[in-house]
Amino acid sequence: MKGDESNCGTGSLRRARVADIDMAYREFGAGEPLILATAYSTTMDMWDARFIRRLATRHRVIVFDNRGMGKSTAGTAVWGIDRFAGDVAGLIDALGLGKAHVLGWSLGGDIALSLAVRFPEKVDKLIIYAGDCGGQQKIDPPRYREVFRQVMRDSPLAWAFASLFPPEWMKQHPDCWRAVPFHKMRIRPRNIARQKKAYDDWRGVYEELPSIGSASLVVSGTRDVSTPLGNAFILSGRIPRARLLLALGAGHGLMYQYPHEFASAVTEFLRAPFSEGVELLRHGRVARGSADVAPSNRLAPETG
């Protein structure tokens, strides 16, 4: 393990030797370790700073760059979701953690699921934020191509925001772009393509979901056009000890929309004894309960 003088004011950059790569990571706070796996074509700098700060009041938060992203090297191994999960397991070992809570966002959620299936002894509690089971059973975004065509006429950056936020929320928050640090990311296009292929080729964990023993929190924005809501119901329905958090009217960028409330829901889940049920985050407030969502309403669009 070796240090680096680079500091963005959000934790000193460090590197750990993991398998065939040098994995870049940062740490914040103290307490039980919580590892955050980030989304497709992003780096650890994409995590919302307010979200990280709130989590770090209770936990030792560790963020990292997936192989070939940001400041982590690409290595020589064949890329795949299971390989990425092995990298996280290697980071847990390199830091001497034994096991850790793991939160994964989008592609990072898929990595976290693979980790929980392949290395269950390394996962304490599990939070899957906008993830899916992969394979043929996952629900693809039917509106994504339509959204893509509409906004690509303006700019690729507009497309990126449309993939994160519902259009009505962006109208109400015209300065939302300030919260998303796209400008910090430096990724080779070739490695983005390699990561996409790894996701496309992943056979998924649908059959293995019932074997996950970790208490799990499955999180979804009800207006997420990148990872449709139905994926959250697949995960929460097949993972034996799963709780569901639905952010009403939120998109794929939930952590930018409600950073403090989302972080508080996560820390409460990690602190409290596990209980099944559904939590609703509406207008920045979490309502806890144990009632299930009627199956007939599970794929209904959010109207409120």
The answer, yes or no, to whether residue 222 has pLDDT greater than 80, is yes
Q: Which residue has the higher pLDDT, 236 or 299?
A: 236
The answer, yes or no, to whether residue 178 has pLDDT greater than 80, is yes
In a domain, 177, yes or no: yes
- Indicate the pLDDT class of residue 181, thresholds 50, 70 and 90: confident
In a domain, 300, yes or no: no
In a domain, 37, yes or no: yes
In a domain, 105, yes or no: yes
Cβ neighbors of 152 (< 8 A, separation 6 or more) are 158, 159
The answer, yes or no, to whether residue 299 has pLDDT greater than 60, is no
Residue range 47-60: average pLDDT? 97
Q: Which residue has the higher pLDDT, 6 or 114?
A: 114
In a domain, 304, yes or no: no
The count of domains in the chain is: 1
In a domain, 303, yes or no: no
* CATH code of 112's domain: 3.40.50.1820
Domain assignment of residue 57, given as a range: 2-290
Provide the pLDDT for residue 144: 53
Q: What's the predicted TM-score (pTM) here? A: 0.88
Provide the pLDDT for residue 93: 98
Provide the pLDDT for residue 156: 56
